[in-house]
Amino acid sequence: MPEIDQNAIVYQPKPRPDWAREFIDIGRRIDAKHVVPLDEKSLLRSAMENTGLSDFGDDDWREPFRLLISDLEETADLHFFGRVMTRSDLLVHLEGRLRVIDWCKRHPEVEEEVIEAPVFIVGLPRSGTTIMQEILGADPDARTVRMWEAKFPVPPPAPSDPRPDPRIAKAQDLVGLQDHITPEWATMHKVGAELPVECIEWTYSSFVSYAFSASFYVPNYTKYVAQNDHASAFAWHKKILQLLQSTGRPHHWLLKGPTHLPVLPSLFAAYPDAKLVLMLRDPVKSLASVIDVSGVLYYMRSDNTTLGKGLGKSIDGKDTYQTLQDMIDWMEDGTIPKDRVTPLDYGQFFAKPDAALERLYGQLGFPLSERSKNAMVDYVTNKPKDKFGKHEYELGDAATIAAMRDAFRPFQEYFGVKSEV
Task: Give the start-to-end residue ranges of the domains of the chain.
Answer: 18-415
pLDDT of amino acid 297: 81
Confidence class for position 349, pLDDT limits 50, 70, 90: very high
Euclidean distance between CA atoms 298 and 214, whole angstroms: 8
Least confident range from 72-81, 160-169, 342-351: namely 160-169
Distance of CA 187 to the CA centre of its chain: 17
Asked if pLDDT for residue 67 goes beyond 90, the answer is yes
Which tens digit of pLDDT belongs to each residue from 1-29?
556 555 656 667 788 888 888 988 888 88
Asked if pLDDT for residue 222 goes beyond 70, the answer is yes
pTM value is 0.90
Taking a C-beta distance cutoff of 8 angstroms, is the pair 96, 196 a contact?
no
pLDDT of amino acid 300: 85
Classify 355 as helix, strand or coil: helix
Strands (E), 230-316: 252-256, 275-280
pLDDT of amino acid 367: 93
Nearest to 82 by CA among 312, 378, 299: 299
Taking a C-beta distance cutoff of 8 angstroms, is the pair 153, 243 a contact?
yes
The set of long-range contacts for 402-405, using a CB threshold of 8 Å and a minimum separation of 24, is 402/2, 403/2, 403/3, 403/4, 403/5, 404/4, 404/283, 404/284, 404/287, 404/311, 404/312, 405/284
Nearest to 259 by CA among 309, 215, 205: 215
pLDDT of amino acid 386: 46
Euclidean distance between CA atoms 242 and 244, whole angstroms: 5
Euclidean distance between CA atoms 421 and 130, whole angstroms: 22
Beta bridge partners of 256: 121
Confidence class for position 120, pLDDT limits 50, 70, 90: very high
Q: What angle do CA 216, 217, 220 make, to 5 degrees?
A: 120
pLDDT of amino acid 308: 56
Element (H, E) at 121: strand 119-122
Confidence class for position 388, pLDDT limits 50, 70, 90: very low
Distance of CA 260 to the CA centre of its chain: 9
Nearest to 118 by CA among 235, 259, 264, 271: 271
- Give the strand order in the sheet containing 142-143: 142-143, 252-256, 119-122, 275-280, 341-345
Q: Write the DSSP string, 378-421.
A: HHHHHPPTTTT---------HHHHHHHHHHHHHHHHHHTPPP--
Asked if pLDDT for residue 290 goes beyond 50, the answer is yes
**Phi, psi at residue 55, to the nearest 5°?**
-95, 110
Euclidean distance between CA atoms 150 and 279, whole angstroms: 23
**Phi, psi at residue 38, to the nearest 5°?**
-120, 20
For residue 143, what is the DSSP state? E
Which tens digit of pLDDT belongs to each residue from 43-63?
999 999 999 999 999 999 999
Average pLDDT over all residues of the chain: 87
Question: What share of residues in the chain are helix, strand, coil (percent, to 5)?
Answer: 55, 5, 35
Which are the contacts of 369, defined by CB distance < 8 A and separation ≥ 6? 141
Please give the CATH architecture assigned to the domain spanning 18-415.
Answer: 3-Layer(aba) Sandwich (3.40)
Confidence class for position 269, pLDDT limits 50, 70, 90: very high
**Phi, psi at residue 313, to the nearest 5°?**
-95, 135
**Phi, psi at residue 393, to the nearest 5°?**
-145, 160
Nearest to 206 by CA among 235, 230, 233: 233
For residue 78, what is the DSSP state? B
